[in-house]
């Protein structure tokens, strides 16, 4: 399964990575190479085999609805690349 440059650009957009032309070309080649190895899986008979998302067989892990103090705002904003008026500042969304 070859991954074209267009595929790479589409996926990069979904992943919010801006790739140089050289990276796009390399990514297309390397990802195609990896998927060639993955193609071996198609030899397996998986009919009727259910998927396993998690090896752990546990359910109903919840916690009580009880409040714990939140973090001081100064502390959570201290690591922010940009903050203003007690909020996280970001470039315009459009």
Partner 1 sequence: MSENTTTWEPVIGLEIHVQLNTATKMFCRCENRFGAEPNTLTCPLCLGHPGVLPVINQGAVEKAIEIGLALGCTIADRSVFHRKNYFYPDSPKAYQISQYDEPICVDGHLDVGGARIGITRAHLEEDAAKLVHSGGEAGRIGGAEYSLVDFNRCGTPLVEIVTEPDLRSPEQAVAFLALLKNTLQTVGVSDCDMEKGSLRCDANVSVRPAGSSEFGVKTELKNMNSFKFLGDGMAAEIRRQIDLLERGEPVVQETLHYDPGSKMLRSLRSKEEAHDYRYFPEPDLVPLAPSQELIDRLRDGLPELPAARTARFAESYGLPPQYAADLNAEPRVADYFESVAAGADAKSAADWVLNTRPSPVDEIPAGRLAELIGLISAGTITSTIAKQVYELMLADGDTPPAQLVEQHGLASIGDSAQLEAMVDEVIEANPAFVEQFRSGKEGVINALVGQVMKQTKGRADARQVQELLRSKL
Partner 2 sequence: MTVVDTLGLTAERCAELLGAREISCRELVEAYLERIDAHDPDLHCFLRTRPEAALAEADALDAAGPKGLQGVPIALKDILCTRGEETTAGSRILAGHRPLYDAGAVTRCRDAGLIPLGKTNMDEFAMGSSTEHSAFGPTRNPWDHELVPGGSSGGSAAAVAAGFAPLALGTDTGGSIRQPAALCGVVGLKPTYGAVSRHGLIAFGSSLDQIGPFSLTVRDAALALQTIAGHDPCDSTSVPLPEPVSLPDAEHLRGVTIGIPTDLLSVEGVEDGVRTSFETTIGEAERLGASIQEITLPTARHALPAYYLIAPAEASANLARFDGVRYGLRLEEPGDTVVDMYGRTRSEGFGDEVKRRIMLGTYVLSAGYYDAYYGTAQRVRTLLLREFAEAFSGVDLIATPASPTVAFPIGERIDDPWAMYACDLFTVPVNLTGLPGISLPSGLSDGLPVGFQLIGPAFSENRILAAAHALEQAIGFDPVPTGYRVGG
Residues near partner 1 (CB under 8 A) are 10, 14, 16, 53-54, 56, 58-68, 70-71, 73, 76-77, 84-94
- CB count in 10 Å sphere of residue 28: 19
Cα diameter, the chain: 59
Q: Does 82 bind partner 2 (CB under 8 A)?
A: yes
Q: Which position among 51, 68, 70, 74 is part of the footprint of partner 2 (CB under 8 A)?
A: 51
Q: Does 56 bind partner 2 (CB under 8 A)?
A: yes
- Contact between 3 and 32 under an 8 Å Cβ cutoff? The reply is yes
Q: Which residue has the tokens 């470039």?
A: 91
The CA-atom distances, in angstroms, between 58 and each of 54, 55, 61, 64 are 9, 9, 8, 18
Q: How far is CA 5 from the centre of its chain?
A: 20
Residue 16 or residue 43: which is nearer to partner 1 going by CB? 16
Question: By the criterion CB under 8 A, which residues form the site for partner 2?
Answer: 3, 7-8, 10-12, 14-19, 23, 27, 30-31, 33-34, 37-38, 40-42, 44, 46, 49-56, 58, 61, 63, 71, 75-76, 79-82, 88, 90-94
């Amino acid at each position: 399964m070859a991954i074209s440059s267009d595929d790479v650009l589409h996926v990069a957009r979904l992943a919010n990575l801006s790739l140089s032309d050289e990276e796009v070309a390399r990514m297309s080649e390397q990802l195609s190479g990896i998927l060639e190895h993955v193609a071996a899986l198609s030899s397996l008979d998986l009919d009727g085999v259910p998927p396993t998302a998690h090896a752990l067989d546990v359910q109903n892990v919840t916690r009580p609805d009880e409040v714990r103090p939140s973090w001081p705002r100064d502390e959570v904003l201290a690591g922010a690349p940009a903050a203003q008026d007690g909020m996280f500042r970001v470039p315009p969304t459009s």
